[in-house]
Structure 1
Amino acid sequence: MPLVHSENIAEVGRLLVWQLVETEEVLRKMLPSSADFEELSSISHPQKKREWMAGRIVLAQIVAEAGEVFKGTWKDEHGKPFLIDCPYPISLTHTHDYVAAVIHPTLSVGIDMEQKNDKLIRTARKYLNESELFEAKNSLSKLCMYWCGKEALYKLNGRNNVSFKDNIFVEIFNENSNLLQGTWRDSGREVRASLQVRWFGTYCLIVAV
């Protein structure tokens, strides 16, 4: 798994992006012993298996870079992942070609990665409000940034039963920007976060912190 990008996020956080090129057999040999093999056995789709295994390998790497030991993960009632015996917040994303993870010692984080695809146009009304639709103007780059930004905010806050269209917002931005601002509003709560944008070819990656 070639490392294609690494950087510090929010001063002391860490972001790693790996390109997924290995076969399932190779990935199995690389898996940390603390990975949840029972969860792995429940995945039947070959590509999903590769993505899951690559995600645990990347998590083990980024946790080691933070000076901790990767002992696996657990999920709360909303499905948000946490590290076992480590208080550092994490977030993970995987696509067909890339796997990325972010960790921070004190701040909640969220990450998402998506490839520019026509499906973003077909589904835009499901995740954008009217003003965001007007701003996007069917630009695949902007639609991809909106989607990744909202998904990253969703993962940062870690709550189910939330509408991307009605509860999660991204402020007006230029498609060449590498820093956006987003807000989550739900049940009287408001969470604001910076959205850091990185592009890898046709893939958009956004970290919310």
Structure 2
Amino acid sequence: MGFEFSREIKPSTSYYVAVVSVNFSIDYLLEHIDMCDDERIRFENITHENRKREFLGTRFAIKQLLGKEPYLLRDSNGKPHFQNLAIELSLSHCGQNLALIMHPYHDVGIDLQEVNNKVLLVAKKFLNEGELARVGSDREKATLYWSAKEALYKYYSRRQLSLKNDLQIVEKEEGRFIGVISNESHYEEVPLNWEWIGNFALVYTVKS
């Protein structure tokens, strides 16, 4: 059991990215974090053990990173935010791994996905025809595109957005990606940062 960094990114700009593994028992986590009333109510309504550990592990990890107790809530669209800190935040869970990005004021989005055999079977649900043609039978690229669209979805942070129809991944030179958010009420081009961490695709974006 423990708390371990897989990746930490501190660029010259003011955003912060980390991928950590949190592997503690529920009892241990409850002893080492504090929760506000709203958080405790949400926790008590969780029935699945893994979801309980994920809920607590997220707060434990952020406490270790920030050095202070985070009170983490969600707005009406499900976007996480701090009750007690003026920091923009996005989160992604994959197994025991937590990916997060924080910025003092810009919108952010992040996603972490592990490559698996199922991604090509469900690709038609989240990729448009052009993206499907570029991906072909490449599981790694399909996973990267999926992670990119999830990061865009979290960045936009509003519901009623189709991964397949409203979000596009545009490939540029030298392996760069741009995400396009396009629906009836909004159009935006967003730079995407990506890298591989072992068998995991990590994609994140910060509003420029």
Q: Normalised by the size of structure 2, how large is the TM-score? A: 0.88
Q: Which runs of 4 or more aligned residues in structure 1 lie more than 3 Å from their structure 2 counterparts after TM superposition? A: 32-35, 61-64
In terms of mean alpha carbon deviation, does 147-156 or 37-46 score higher? 37-46
State the partner residue of 2:5. 3
1:80/1:155 contact within 8 Å kept: yes
For residue 22 of structure 1, report the CA deviation from its aligned partner.
Answer: 2.1
Structure 1 residues 127 and 39: CA distance shift in structure 2, 3 A: same
2:33/2:69 contact within 8 Å kept: no
State the partner residue of 2:130. 131
Matched, 1:22 2:24: yes
State the partner residue of 1:56. 59
Structure 1 residues 10 and 44: CA distance shift in structure 2, 3 A: farther
Matched, 1:31 2:33: yes
For structure 2, list consecutive stretches of 5 or more residues without a partner in the other structure.
none
2:22/2:61 contact within 8 Å kept: no
Partners of 1:102 and 1:183 in 2: CA distance: 20
For residue 9 of structure 1, report the CA deviation from its aligned partner.
Answer: 4.9
Matched, 1:43 2:46: yes
Deviations 1:87-126 (A, max 9, x none): 3210111111311211001210011111111221111001
For residue 156 of structure 1, report the CA deviation from its aligned partner.
Answer: 0.6
For structure 1, list consecutive stretches of 5 or more residues without a partner in the other structure.
none
1:58/1:100 contact within 8 Å kept: no
What amino acid maps onto 1:182 in structure 2?
Answer: G
Secondary structure in 2 matching 1:19? strand
What amino acid maps onto 1:14 in structure 2?
Answer: Y
Deviations 1:17-74 (A, max 9, x none): 111322223222232344812211111111121111111122333444xxxx544122
For residue 4 of structure 1, report the CA deviation from its aligned partner.
Answer: 2.3
What amino acid maps onto 2:58 in structure 1?
Answer: G
Structure 1 residues 30 and 17: CA distance shift in structure 2, 3 A: farther
Secondary structure in 2 matching 1:122? coil
2:59/2:70 contact within 8 Å kept: no
State the partner residue of 2:183. 186
Identical-residue share of aligned pairs (%) = 25
Matched, 1:204 2:201: yes
Q: Normalised by the size of structure 1, how large is the TM-score? A: 0.88
Partners of 1:156 and 1:85 in 2: CA distance: 21
What is the number of residues matched between the two proteins?
203
Deviations 1:109-164 (A, max 9, x none): 01111111122111100100000000001211111111110000100110101110
For residue 2 of structure 1, report the CA deviation from its aligned partner.
Answer: 1.2
Q: How does 1:120-199 map to 2 (within 5 A)?
A: 120-172=119-171, 177=175, 179-199=176-196
Partners of 2:113 and 2:19 in 1: CA distance: 13
What amino acid maps onto 2:63 in structure 1?
Answer: A
1:93/1:99 contact within 8 Å kept: yes
What amino acid maps onto 1:58 in structure 2?
Answer: A
Secondary structure in 2 matching 1:44? coil
Partners of 2:34 and 2:64 in 1: CA distance: 10
Secondary structure in 1 matching 2:171? coil
What amino acid maps onto 1:82 in structure 2?
Answer: H
